[in-house]
Structure 1
Amino acid sequence: MELLEILGFIGALFIGLVLGLIGGGGSILTVPILVYALTLNPVIATAYSLFVVGTTSLVGAIKNITKGMVDFKTAIIFAIPAFIAVYITRAFLIPAIPDELFQIGNIMVTKNLAIMLFFAFIMLLASVSMIRNKRKETDEEAEITYNYPLIIAEGIIVGAITGIVGAGGGFLIIPALVLLAKLPMKKAVATSLFIIAIKSLIGFLGDVQNLDIDWPFLLIFTGLSIIGIFIGIWLNKFIDGKKLKKAFGWFVLIMGIYIIYKELTA
């Protein structure tokens, strides 16, 4: 096994570790690890990422369900348009995109390049969200209200983005649940994991019909990520997650800039 492959599997453990420590964000590393360390095609990488993110999030979601932290009504309202959007994106939109899109000067913008650049842009947005981290806490006793049209619209947008880049989109979902459904922060984070699990795994079903899946590799990678989330949950008792989240946000920002540089200079 080459050094990059070893680093790739260590990266799988790190993905879960970050998810366990700060409750989100780790999934945004899955695609870069699969593409750059394990040299997978971006289309395959985003597909595998959906399975890894969905399965790992499901582990966290089940834990939250046992604690009564998941608001199922809000999750269903948000998740139905989200998983329809992510399934359509993976099953029909991604396969329909031509391999070569257009040329700018000497640069041919291919399908793979466009996916990676869009992914880098999402990483930059996520990093800003983690660095700023100025969400206001909603009163735990406040009545939960629903802005149905906006929740459905946000679900469709997040689902489509998830389908393209293969990341969970927690940095988009959590503010939506707090602002549009008036969920308390802790419930928003817990409900977000449940939504991410559902839409990611259903989105992955859209890939199963189009791609040959390397199940042994995918299950090993996902298993390492799940081990990581349990280690992260345990370490969370000793480490301040908010400070860690800000530091991780800077790391994601640097990674996003690196991806843009690497893709445009390749």
Structure 2
Amino acid sequence: MFRISNNLIGILNFVTFLLSIPILGGGIWLSTRASTDCEKFLDGPIIALGVFLMVVSLAGLIGACCRVTWLLWVYLVVMFLLILLLFCFTVFAFVVTNKGAGQVVSGKGYKEYRLGDYSNWLQKRVNNTKNWRKIKSCLADTNICKKLGESQDSEAVFYKRNLSPIQSGCCKPPTECSFTYVNATHWTKPDGSTYPSDSDCTAWDNDQKTLCYNCQSCKAGVLANLKRDWKKVAVVNIIILVALVIVYSVGCCAFRNNQEDNAFPKWRRGGGGYS
């Protein structure tokens, strides 16, 4: 008769194994259907996650239910490393997203974003040419600026809109450029105006494939969006960490049970207590 902790670990890992099947299948499906850089970027991690969950859950399931002590030991080691990794990532996420916030613009419903306000680590990631090329491709695939341009708001209505960080930083020029509004994604440069060569005002282009995707404000908008998402992920990670610690503790009880059962023959164990 299985002990309670072994049963719990077996049930939890059986459920995890079932969950890993659609995750792995989704990753394989995405890899065969991917047509954009964003989709191609996602298929690898999804497949890796599916395989990881499947292998680890099988190790825990067989180790707990079939009393295979060495498999349960491997399962516990992986769980410990996962808990450690998740804890480090959560702390890191809070640290690197501690800096940076949008700046309120007088008379506008949206905020402006500046790259220098964010942590150096995040700035280096988006300033990397290879990384930014992929990010720009993803932004173009979402059609977020195209949808904004289709709204056809009047100038007064547009200035009152609560734009997202990406819409504010990538779909329009910075307010300091003093461009004339035509529509949300089409602006006219004032006659005779000159700007520094490294200015976002110079980087702006009314071409719908360019807009402000090469602007520092666009990178800042992406980081503002990333900061918001990472904060949410960090909170979820804390909940997951608590759950993993509980599962790890139950797994340690199951491992102890396996050791006791392997150390004493069945005829000597009798019907002792269960844990």
- TM bin, normalised by shorter chain, reads under 0.3
Under a length normalisation based on structure 1, what TM-score does the superposition of the two structures give? Answer: 0.23
- Look at both structures and tell me which one has the larger radius of gyration over its CA atoms: 2
Under a length normalisation based on structure 2, what TM-score does the superposition of the two structures give? Answer: 0.23
More helix by share: 1
